[in-house]
Each structure stands twice: as C-alpha cells, then as structure tokens.
Structure 1
Amino acid sequence: MGCGAEDELYSGGRCWTCVLGDVVDDLLTNQATGSMANELIPLAAALKSMKRANSGLTWIQQKHVAAFLRNLAGAPDITHETFDGLPDSRTREYVRGLLIEHGVLPRRDEFRTRYENWSAAAVDRTIDPQNRDIVRRYVRWHHLRRMNQMDEVTRGAFLRAKQQVTVAIDLLNWLTGHGTSLTELSQAHLDLWQAEGPTTRRIAEHFLKWAIKTKAAPAGLTIVTHRRGTSPKLDKAGQDEALGRVLQAKGYIEARDQAAAVLILVFGQQAERIAELTWENVTVTDELVTVRLGSIKIALPSPLDEPWRQLAMNPSHGLTAAHPNSKWVFTGQFPGKHINPGYLTQRLTRLFSTRAARLGTLHELTKLAPVAIIAETLGYSPITIERHATDSAAAYGRYIAAVRT
C-alpha cells in the first residue's frame, strides 16, 4: 500500500518516495541478520527523505551503487578504515561523504589522506633506489610538513603538491636514463631536459630549490620559468560584452553560473576561491546584496545582485541527501563538498575564457585604485596585485611608498 500522498506515481499506484524507501531498506539491511546496522540508519533516513525521490531512485538502482550498498550493509564495522580497504571508486567516496554529512563517520582531512596514499604509490615510480629515497624525503619533509601546518588541505594545495612531485620524479628518472645522479646535475642537463619536454617541466623549480637547500643538488642551478605578462587578457570592451551576455541570458544560464561569472568579470576572482565561498560571506536583504571577498564586504548593485538573490531563494542543497545543511554557495556533486573549480571553469568556458577575463579585470582594476586597497578588498596578496599594476603601467607602488613615509 502507498503512503496516500498526492504525488506523482511511479508504479503499482505507489509514488517515487514509497518505492525509494523500500529499495533503501532492502539494500542497507544485512542479509545475514535481517536487520540494519545502527550506523546505517541515519543514512537510510536521509536517502528516504530526499525531496527529489526520483533522482535518488535513479542513482541507487545503478548496479554498481546497489552492489556497493549491499556489501556495505554486511560489513562488520562502518569506519574510514573499512572504506579505505575497499576498491577506490567514485561510489566509495560518494557514500563515504554521505555518511560524514549525516554524522555516521567523523570528518577528516580528505585531501591530506589522498595525498599520503597517492605519494606512497608515486614514490615507487622512481627508478633508482637512491632517487626514490630523495623523493620520499621531498614528500615527507617538504609537502607533508606544509600540509600539517594547514587547518585543512585545499584542493589547490593537493593538486600542486601532486604536480610538483610528478615533475620531480620525471627529472630524476631522466637523469637515471642518462647515467647521471642528482649530485652530478649540471645546468646543461637541466636545459636539455627542459627543452625536450612540455612547458610543465618548469614546475621542477620547486623541487630544485628544495634539493639545493638540502644539499641534494649542486648550488647555482636554475629552471627557465614562465615569463609573466605573456598570457592573453580580455580587454575592457570584451569584459563588458561578456558581462552583458551573461546577465541578459536569464533562463538560459543557471543562476550559479551567472553569479560566478560576475565575480570573475567584475572582481577578478579565481575559480578556486569562488568555489570555496560560503553563505557566511554573503548577505542578501531586500535592499542590498553584499559579498565578502577579502576583508571588506562589497555591495553588488543591480543587475549584478540578481543571480545572488536567485541563489538565496532557491538553494539546491536541500534537494538530495548530499547537502542537508551545506555552508557552500556553490555545492558540488560529492556530499558536503563545494563545486569542483575545474568543473566550474569548464561550465563558464562556453561563455568566455575565465583566465583571460580574470587577468583582464585585474589589469583594469589596477588603473582605478591603489594596490593596497585592491588587495584588501579582493583578498589578493599585495605582491600579486603589484605585478598586475606594473604590467598595466599603473605604478601604484609609489602610492604605498608615499603612505609609509
């Protein structure tokens, strides 16, 4: 018998919610005992109470998801260690996230844990045993030490650490293939290695500085780095045109994409920082919408405020079990996580080049206000803004010098 609610029927006179409830109970019940583990009851309740029951049913009836949940129901313990012992998959991490969001598993620094697991396997890709020890020390005493000093490792820090170690291993394996050790590394070796490969090899600069500092490599070696100021920038006319196109496409572009586009085109924000924005940084009233990017709240005039009002009125976090009480403005696909910055960039790329737009915006802003004010308002370091000011010939460094005298 169905619940009797006036809702869209799924089959046999029963609605989506009723069918979803039966499927959830079946999958999360231990087949050996005939009962559901106490740790899984909050998860079952969250899944069964989803506002979008049809989406939940579509997800849970996938063969790999159903098989995972049935295996989980039979597990002797529900712990992070239990999950770590299972094959790595998106389903494993998604269900782990659900259990964290609903209080079954404690929160942990996922990116730090992922980096530890990744680096342990990456070290083994180093051919020479002596170089393998160098990479192991680089991981432990450089990257992991830095991560231990963070409150929580960010996605950006995780990806940068992975990339730097990957390039370091590439360099060391190249040296091994050329019969040379790191202690015998010369500038000629470095120049040849960098010339033969992709531009990402310049990232080896980070490893090289560490190796020289720890006396694992000779002093005085340098990597040819990226020349600043060579990346394309969207000019003022292009920025205005892109902003108008974004704001006038109401109904064709999602409000969250419009809101993110405003932060890039008007305030030069990076996708990673936009993704990490929480509702604590946003205030929406009948009179005003403000967003805190640095240490100052910025008022958004009409029509820049419209996407933010729509987001506040129709937050997406309550529609599924993944984000029951999310703090993120831009919720992601994984439970409790904000949107992946790369995915956000991909969505906006169909509208404009996010990198060119951000660089162009910062280029223009340095013509309008002092470096110190821009940095404080937008949450950038003064050094970063100073570089853009120099590039745009704004020369606001003189302003800072005058203030200090």
Structure 2
Amino acid sequence: MPFRDLSRECCETCGAEDELHSGGRCWTCVLGNVVDDLLTDPATGSMANDLIPLAAALKSMKRANSGLTWIRQKHVTAFLSNLAVAPEITHETFDELPASRTREYVRGLLTEHGVLPQRDELRMRYDSWAADAIERVKDPQHLDVIRRYIRWHHQRRMNHMDEVARGTFLRAKQEVTVAIDLLNWLTGHDIKLPELQQSHLDAWQAEGPTTRRIAERFLKWAIKTKAAPAGLTIVPHRRGTSPRLAKPGQDEALKRVIDDGLETRDRAAAILILVFGQQAENIARLTWNDVSITEELVTIQLGTIQIALPDPLDKPWRELAANPRHDLTASHPNTTWVFRGASPGRHIHPGHLTTRLSKLFSTRAARLGTLHELTKLAPVAIIAETLGYSPTTIERHATDSAAAYAQYVAAAKAVRQNP
C-alpha cells in the first residue's frame, strides 16, 4: 500500500494540494483571510486603495506560516487594525505614531511595495535625534550656535548626499554630542564661546576622555564662522591606534571561513574583509549589479574595477546566486541587495553584519590588518583605485607598514651584529 502524506490534502478553498492549517484550508488561504480581515475598515466594509498592495504582498508570501506567525502577534494585529481605519497613509502620519519596530517594519513594507515614496531614513533619524540633542544645551546663546552647527555643517552636507551613509550618521551624532559637552562645560564655568581661551580648552580636554579630541571639528567650524576666537587648537583625534589582525591571524580566520559551516552570506562577506580589506558598510550596500558570475569566473565591483574571486573564494557567491531566497516573504520580493536586511527593501545593517562575524574575528582589526599587508604588495595609487579607498587612507597604511618593516630590519641587523 503506497505511503500517503496525511499532512497534505486538497484545500477546500483553493483546491491546491498542500499542508492544511485548519477547517480544511491551507496556510496560504488562512493567511489571506486574516490579512483581509485586518486591513478592511469595519465601518465601510472595504479596504483602502493604499493598503491593497500591502495586502497582496502579504497574501502572496511563499512562507505563509511565517506571515501568520508575525501577524498574530498582538502588537502587530493591533497596528494593522489601526492602519485599516487611518484617514491617510503617509510618512508624516507614520512619524506621528509612537516609535516601534513594528511601525518601521510596516513603513518599510509600504515603501517596498510602492505605497509610500522612498526616503533616506538615516537622514530622518538624524534630524529627529538632533532635535532631541539640542534640548541638552543649557545656555540660550550656545543653543543658537549648536543649532547653526547642526543645520549648516551636518544637515547641509547630508542634504547633498544621494543617501546618508551609516558612518556619516554616526560621526555627525558623535561630533554634536562632544560639541554640546564642551558648550555645557563652558556654561558651568560661566564662559561664553566668544570668550573662549586656549587655557579653557586645555583644561576641558585634560579632565575628560580622549573622545573630547573630536571637538576639534566643531572648533574649526566655530572659528571659521567667527563664533569662537581664532588661533585656538585641540589635540587632534589620533588615527592609526586601533589594533590590527596580524598576517597569521588573517590566514587562520580565512581558513575557518572557507572550511567551517558558516551561513553562506557570512562567508561571502568575511572573504571581502579578510582578502580585500573592505568595510562592512560597503559590503552591506553591494547589489547583484556589482557581481558578475560566469561558468569560469566570479567578479565583484569594489572600487573602479572588478575584482576576480578565484576558487575557493568564489563558492559562497555562486551559492548565493543559485539560491538567493529573496522571495520567501513580503519584505524583499524584487530586491537586488546581496545582503538583505531585516527591514523591508533594505540591505543588512553594517553593525549587524559585524556582529555576525565577530564570533570569528574583529572586522575592524581584520580590515586594518589586510590593508597593512596589501600596502607591501602594490603601489598606493593602485590599491586605492582598486579597492575604492582614498589615496590618503592607503598612504597612511603604507607609511605604517614601511615603518614597521624598517623597525624589523633594524632589529634583525642588531641581532646579527650582537649574536
């Protein structure tokens, strides 16, 4: 007698042979009914036109069970029910709702499916953060200065970007935070910014953490705009002090990446950091338009040229291309992101990517170690152009590398002379 899979029967609603959920209906049909019920305005008995694309996307999920699990959470059910009776669906109405992961996830779904227009969320987050940050300024005169600093230095620069990068967002927050700290210190010592003296700066910097060096950027702006006296200086924030992963550590990490059973996307990202010194932020933004895969070769656009990945470095990329798995939920139906994120239509958060890889190595230490080694192998201009770095950045690594090599030669010579 042939085996019969009792978990798969014909759905009484759609007729498809599938695993049944309840009442003789498959998971997909149950999901469809739940979505329609939640997104229909009970007062009118109909669904708003703006919500129809969202409903269609949710109902067409290949993983209907995942969709039901998400929707049946109490906070999600409540949010979608309230959305069904909203007078209009705009970014502004979403902004007025209490901040939550559900709010942003549903906003992302509506954006991904064409209901809401695309917008730069990091720019919006910075604007919101800045509005809260200026409330920490204690002196009204200093309040005017910090407002101008935010508006004309940071927000103006962001407004000229196609998309605000995570690094730009974080640096802008840090610079404003340190500037507010300086201004509040001045207030506590009854000093106005136009009265600032070098002795004041030295005292403030000496009694605080090294991050106060970042105030150098605010000070330069204040002097340039004549908000502070000329000639003042802050000991600059030193670069090149972060630890680097040495060559043996890089080789061991790469061996583990190739041999261990990591998730495929983690392996692909780790290779770009360990072999090509790429930043997590640039990796996260890669699309399949940057990748070319043929039977003979896999290449990735990193800087101005395409970098070839030899065997076995190409294997994770071939696996991803063969099975992208982007259409299992409503979050990424037509995405070109190689590294999809938790938010609909967006790439993975670089911080989340580094956290995933941290069980193997520090991504920053690995990247700096790789750049350190690469500067021994090729001229600065070629490395900068190939990997998409500024020549100044690569020059700094080359200088450090040359200094380290010089120290090695001197030490070896001393040993030979004094056996």
| TM-score exceeds 0.5 | yes
TM-superposed CA distance for 1:22, in Å, is: 1.2
The amino acid of 1:271's aligned partner reads A
Maintained 8 Å contact 1:367/1:394 = no
> Given the alignment of the two structures, is residue 371 of structure 1 paired with residue 371 of structure 2, yes or no?
no
- From 59, 62, 85, the equivalent of 1:51 is 62
- From 304, 310, 314, the equivalent of 1:305 is 314
- From 150, 154, 159, the equivalent of 1:143 is 154
Q: Which residue matches 1:401?
A: none
Maintained 8 Å contact 1:295/1:377 = yes
TM-superposed CA distance for 1:311, in Å, is: 1.0
Alignment of 1:25-64 (within 5 A): 25-64=36-75
Secondary structure of 2:292's counterpart equals strand
Flag the 1:308–1:186 CA change in 2: closer, same or farther, 3 A.
same
Secondary structure of 2:300's counterpart equals strand
Distance, in Å, in 2 between the alignment partners of 1:197 and 1:336 is 42
- From 214, 217, 234, the equivalent of 2:225 is 214
Distance, in Å, in 1 between the alignment partners of 2:204 and 2:69 is 50
Distance, in Å, in 2 between the alignment partners of 1:27 and 1:380 is 49
TM-superposed CA distance for 1:64, in Å, is: 1.0
> Given the alignment of the two structures, is residue 247 of structure 1 paired with residue 254 of structure 2, yes or no?
no
> Given the alignment of the two structures, is residue 353 of structure 1 paired with residue 362 of structure 2, yes or no?
yes
Alignment of 1:6-405 (within 5 A): 6-249=17-260, 252-393=261-402
Which shifted more, 152-161 or 137-146?
A: 152-161
Flag the 1:111–1:227 CA change in 2: closer, same or farther, 3 A.
closer
The amino acid of 1:166's aligned partner reads T
Q: Which residue matches 2:416?
A: none
Distance, in Å, in 1 between the alignment partners of 2:332 and 2:205 is 45
Maintained 8 Å contact 2:57/2:113 = yes
Secondary structure of 1:243's counterpart equals helix
Query: Which deviations, in whole Å up to 9, do the C-alpha atoms of 1:53-106 show, x marking residues without a partner?
Result: 111111111111111111111011111121122112111111111111101111
Query: Which deviations, in whole Å up to 9, do the C-alpha atoms of 1:113-165 show, x marking residues without a partner?
Result: 22222212221221111111001100111111111211222222222212211
- What is the TM-score of this pair, normalised by structure 2? 0.91
The amino acid of 2:312's aligned partner reads P
The amino acid of 2:222's aligned partner reads A
TM-superposed CA distance for 1:9, in Å, is: 2.6
Secondary structure of 2:136's counterpart equals coil
Q: What's the Cα RMSD here?
A: 1.5
Query: Which deviations, in whole Å up to 9, do the C-alpha atoms of 1:165-193 show, x marking residues without a partner?
Result: 12111111121112212122223322332
Structure 2: segments with no counterpart, 5+ residues = 1-11, 405-419
The amino acid of 1:362's aligned partner reads L
TM-superposed CA distance for 1:316, in Å, is: 3.1
Which shifted more, 67-76 or 77-86?
A: 77-86
Flag the 1:201–1:5 CA change in 2: closer, same or farther, 3 A.
farther
Distance, in Å, in 2 between the alignment partners of 1:318 and 1:198 is 48
Percent identical among aligned pairs is 78
Q: Which of the two has higher C-alpha Rg?
A: 2
Which shifted more, 184-193 or 41-50?
A: 184-193
The amino acid of 1:242's aligned partner reads A
TM-superposed CA distance for 1:394, in Å, is: 7.8
Flag the 1:186–1:30 CA change in 2: closer, same or farther, 3 A.
same
- What is the TM-score of this pair, normalised by structure 1? 0.94
Q: Which residue matches 2:4?
A: none
Distance, in Å, in 1 between the alignment partners of 2:201 and 2:18 is 68
Distance, in Å, in 1 between the alignment partners of 2:136 and 2:43 is 43
Maintained 8 Å contact 2:273/2:367 = yes
TM-superposed CA distance for 1:110, in Å, is: 2.1
Distance, in Å, in 2 between the alignment partners of 1:224 and 1:13 is 73
Distance, in Å, in 2 between the alignment partners of 1:316 and 1:174 is 53
Maintained 8 Å contact 1:112/1:147 = yes
Distance, in Å, in 2 between the alignment partners of 1:286 and 1:13 is 47
Aligned residues: 393
Which shifted more, 146-155 or 368-377?
A: 146-155
Secondary structure of 1:219's counterpart equals coil
Distance, in Å, in 1 between the alignment partners of 2:326 and 2:205 is 46
Distance, in Å, in 1 between the alignment partners of 2:66 and 2:234 is 51
